Amino acid sequence: MKSITSKQTAFVGNILTTVMVAFMGTINIINNLYSFAGYSPFVIALMGIVAMSVYPALEWVAYSRIGKRGGKWWKLFLLVMGILSIFHSYSSLGNILVFSFRIIIGICYIFTFFLKDTKLSSNSN
C-alpha cells in the first residue's frame, strides 16, 4: 500500500484553495463592485483578482519547492497557512461550504508539514 506524501496533501490543498478563490472571489467582486465610488468596474475587478491571487500563487510556489532544496521552509509556510486557514474558517460559519473548504485546506496544509517525503525514484541500474 502506497503512503500519502506531503506533496500530495499540498496538491489537494492547493486545488481546493484555487477553486475556492475562483468561485468565492468572483462572488465577492460582484457583490462589492459598486461600493468603491469613482473607480471603474474593471479597475475594481482587476484589483480584487490581483489581491486574491497572492496567497494561492505563493502556495503553488511552496508546492513546487517541496522535496527540493529549501523545501522545509516552504513546508513551514504551508503549516502557517494551514493554521491561519483553520482560524479564518470560523469567520465564515454562516456559509457551511466555505467553512468546510477552509477546514479541509487547513488540515491538508498541516499534514503537509508533518508527513515525510518519500523518494519516488529507485536506484536500480
Angle between helices 6-31 and 71-89 (to 10 degrees): 50
* Owner of C-alpha cell 468565492: 24
* Cα(113)–Cα(75) distance, integer angstroms: 5
End-to-end CA distance of the chain: 24
3-class secondary structure per residue, 8-53 = HHHHHHHHHHHHHHHHHHHHHHHHCCCCCCCCCHHHHHHHHHHHHH
Q: Is the pTM of this model over 0.95?
A: no
Residue boundaries of the structural domains of the chain:
6-114
Q: Grid coordinates standing for 113? A: 508539514
**pLDDT confidence of residue 1:** 58
* Cα(111)–Cα(43) distance, integer angstroms: 38
CB within 8 Å of 12: residues ≥ 6 apart: 108
Q: In the predicted model, what is the mean pLDDT of the chain?
A: 82
Q: Residue 22: is its pLDDT beyond 50?
A: yes
pLDDT in tens, 40-97: 777 777 777 787 888 899 999 999 988 888 888 989 999 999 999 999 888 888 888 8
**pLDDT confidence of residue 35:** 67
**pLDDT confidence of residue 106:** 93
